[in-house]
Amino acid sequence: MRTGPGRGYPIFNVVDRGESVDVLMQRTEWYQVRAANGKQGWVERAQMELTLKPDGSAVSFEKTGLEDFTNARWEGGLLAGDFGGANIISLYGSYSLNPNISIELWGSQILGNFSNGWMGSVNVVHEAFPEWRFSPFFTLGAGAIHTEPKSTIIQGEDRTDQIGHVGGGFRIYATRRFLLRAEYKSYVVFTSRDENEEVEEWKVGFAFFF
Amino acid sequence: MESRFRVLFLVVAILGLPGCAATKNLFGFGQEEAPPPSAERPGQVIDPQVERREIKEPAIDREDFEIGAYAGIMAIEDFGSDVSYGVRLAYHITEGFFVEGTVGQSEGGLTSFEVLSGGARLISDSERTLTYYNLNLGYNILPGEVFIGEGRAYNTNLYLIAGLGSTRFAGDDRFTVNVGAGYRFLLTDSIALHLDFRDHLFDIDLLGEEKTAHNLEGHLGLTVFF
């Protein structure tokens, strides 16, 4: 048993084989337990899995791995990158209909030299090989973008336009609930002017699934 | 090591069984020898009809989230220092990594130009309010314990943190990078004190040329794990 939930904390108590412990709570991969002598400390999952239930069967603890990366229902993440020369910060939430197809909701803030803006979109994502650690995906979506010129720019007005986009990228399983994500999207902004605008976007970031 | 012990026990057990039989014979108890365990069982007397109860793994309380508030001082470049305050929400992914979102506010004062020139104002009063949000990734780099007096020990963490966000100041939203370090002092397993230092960097062209402003913030906070 360690004094804190991490490898760096010192071991201050040892529970003998055959003794029982009460599990109080869990933080990341660590379990806080109370030993028969009343001492409380933290034990990692690998140790807890060696324990037995009162009926003698092995205890199984929830464990995340590559399989959950493929099958997890919910996912959320943060990406940042370049949106047609401006900085973009994006948050997304995703729900998987099956291992291959998921629906995503994105919210982004665009911070440029001349204008700022917000963008929201709904995507459908298809993964051809969801069981791969390095899983490529294809995405298609639509939404809206709101831009407002910076206060130091004299002319210009606020605009809200519809957008459509296609793109692709990779979801890369890192560890436990954690994944890295990199993607490219090509946007078409349906402006009220004669010509539509096309914007390219590159983003990288991290996400976790649960 | 463990399997070696098991082998050792097995060896002892194997040696022990015939040994026992031998001692029984030696002391004259051999005649009433019990049938060896491998012999066919006598007719089953009780047929157990009771199903073994399925024990469900009790839901263990997970405490991976951390929520709290903080207050401190923020020095806004060219605009003086003022009180800052904010809220934070963190999720601990592993024992090392955590993600954190913060929302905070501070107030910019007068630049030295505005003070010296008398009445001239660069921005309106409402534009002097600085609000920011950040999305950060942190790493607990130095976990440890501190000792207060003879009988008390507290867990601590020194963490490095960096992230992206946006700052609204002087009439615009500004792309902001923040880097810093913090010290988490766990009063109990679920309540922590934080001492944080952050540098918020954003570009500003209010005073002529565009430059990257360093806005240092130091704050003290309290968080609760849930």
Same domain as A56, residue A79: no
Q: Using CB atoms, which residue from B57, B95, B173 is nearest to A28? A: B95
Same domain as B19, residue B76: no
Interface test with B, best of A1, A25, A30, A210 (most B CBs within 10 A): A25
Same domain as A14, residue A34: yes
pLDDT of residue B3: 52
Task: Report the DSSP beta bridge partners of residue A123.
Answer: A104, A141
Contact B70/B196 with Cβ under 8 angstroms? yes
Interfacial residues of A (vs B; Cβ cutoff 8 Å): 3-10, 23-32, 53-55, 59-61, 78, 80, 87, 89, 91, 109, 111, 116, 150-152, 175-178, 206, 208
C-alpha distances (whole Å) from A35 to each of A22, A40, A88, B63 are 7, 6, 50, 20
The verdict on a CB contact (< 8 Å) between A176 and B175 is no
DSSP state of B95: S
- Which tokens in the block code for residue A131? 């069981």
Domain limits for position B158: 65-225
Same domain as A111, residue A31: no
Taking alpha carbons only, the member of B96, B52, B107, B99 closest to residue B74 is B107
Q: Using CB atoms, which residue from A6, A61, A87 is nearest to B175? A: A87
In a domain, B45, yes or no: no
Same domain as A40, residue A71: no
Same domain as A134, residue A169: yes
Q: Using CB atoms, which residue from B93, B95, B145 is nearest to A178? A: B93
In tens, the pLDDT along A146-173 reads 988 876 666 667 788 899 999 999 999 9
Taking alpha carbons only, the member of A44, A58, A39 closest to residue A7 is A44
In a domain, B58, yes or no: no
The verdict on a CB contact (< 8 Å) between A3 and B205 is no
Same domain as A54, residue A97: no
Contact B21/B34 with Cβ under 8 angstroms? no
Q: Using CB atoms, which residue from A9, A26, A61 is nearest to B143? A: A9
Instruction: Give first-to-last CA distance, chain B, whole Å.
Output: 39
Alpha carbons B72 and B193: distance in angstroms, whole number: 13
The verdict on a CB contact (< 8 Å) between B140 and A6 is yes
Q: What's the gap between Cα A131 and its chain centre?
A: 17
DSSP state of A62: -
pLDDT of residue B54: 55
Beta-carbon contacts of residue B96 (< 8 Å; ≥ 6 apart)? A6, B139, B140
Q: Which residues of B touch A116 (CB under 8 A)?
A: 172-173
Q: Which residues of A touch B97 (CB under 8 A)?
A: 178
* Number of domains into which chain A is organized: 2
In tens, the pLDDT along B143-193 reads 888 898 888 889 999 999 999 899 998 888 888 999 999 999 999 888 999
Domain limits for position A109: 67-209
How far does the CA of residue B165 sit from the closest CA of chain A (Å)?
A: 7
Please report the sign of the dihedral spanned by the C-alpha atoms of residue A121, residue A126, residue A130, residue A133.
negative
Same domain as B204, residue B100: yes
Please give the share of chain A, as a percent, with pLDDT higher than 90: 34
In tens, the pLDDT along A9-42 reads 888 888 888 888 888 888 888 888 888 888 888 9
